[in-house]
A and B are shown apart, each in its own frame.
Chain A
Amino acid sequence: QKEVEQDPGPLSVPEGAIVSLNCTYSNSAFQYFMWYRQYSRKGPELLMYTYSSGNKEDGRFTAQVDKSSKYISLFIRDSQPSDSATYLCAIVQAAGNKLTFGGGTRVLVKP
């Protein structure tokens, strides 16, 4: 079993819809959670970072963490074609210096 599982997609949605992405993890020692967006042939860029259970909002993006279920989510409201990319979750243990990445979910927002 992989430490971090993520549905590879592709996830296709119409413009304006809510995109819902999630990851599950197996190690309860994981404490910090990130979401990266990666456009084709580009390096990943950090979107959201959180370390506590609950929700964190940043513009159209909401990150949600449920440590009891070992489940994290990213929601994108009012999706735009420019949101079409691969979204990677990344998780790190407390005070660690190595990230464990999910395999990424490819998202396609159709105009």
Chain B
Amino acid sequence: SQTIHQWPATLVQPVGSPLSLECTVEGTSNPNLYWYRQAAGRGLQLLFYSVGIGQISSEVPQNLSASRPQDRQFILSSKKLLLSDSGFYLCAWSVLSGSPGNEQFFGPGTRLTVL
């Protein structure tokens, strides 16, 4: 069965510090991978998605970047965090070529607080 991991689970960082969040998927090959941010009490905002190694699409201009160095690894980064980067960050995967409805499966999330 497929499993998705995210770490760290929680993170408290000062403004201006760098960020690196990691997501890995097990049990599947060539997945689509996604990064979302969820502000408190709000829906999910798609930040980046990737259909393959080195292929990143950005949905929202912002202080963040994403990379996919390996097939099942997705990294979210920032060089200098802003207060507005605080939130719950979720990684998700879906089958690359399968159901056209593109069901996505989420990881446990990373709660980031920028002080």
Q: Do A and B come from one complex?
A: yes
User: Which A residues are closer than 8 A to B by beta carbons?
Assistant: 6, 8, 31-32, 34, 36, 41-46, 49, 51, 88, 90, 92, 94-99, 101-104
Which B residues are in CB contact (< 8 Å) with A103?
42-43
Sample (27) of A-B pairs whose CB atoms are under 8 Å apart: A8-B41, A31-B100, A32-B100, A41-B109, A42-B108, A42-B109, A43-B90, A43-B106, A43-B107, A43-B109, A44-B44, A44-B90, A44-B106, A45-B106, A46-B104, A51-B101, A88-B43, A88-B44, A92-B102, A94-B100, A97-B94, A98-B46, A98-B49, A99-B46, A99-B102, A101-B43, A104-B43
Given contacts A43-B92, A90-B104, A99-B104, 8 further A-B contacts (CB under 8 A): A6-B43, A32-B101, A49-B101, A92-B102, A94-B100, A99-B44, A99-B102, A101-B43
Would A102 and B43 count as touching, CB distance under 8 A? Answer: yes
What's the Cα separation between A31 and B88 when bound, in Å? 28
A50 to B102, CA, bound (A): 11
Name A33's closest neighbour in chain B (CB-CB): B101
Q: In the complex, what residues of A have CB within 8 A of residue B100's CB? A: 31-32, 94-95
CA separation between A3 and B59, bound complex, in Å? 16
Q: Whole-angstrom distance from the CB of A93 to the nearest CB of chain B?
A: 10
Interface size in chain B (residues, C-beta < 8 A)? 25
- Measured CB to CB, the closest approach of chain B to A23, in angstroms, equals 11
Contacts of B105 on A, CB cut-off 8 Å?
A: 46
Complex: how many Å from CA A44 to CA B42?
A: 13
Closest to B101 in A: A32
Please give, as numbers and ranges, the residues of chain B lying within 8 Å of A104 by CB-CB distance: 42-43
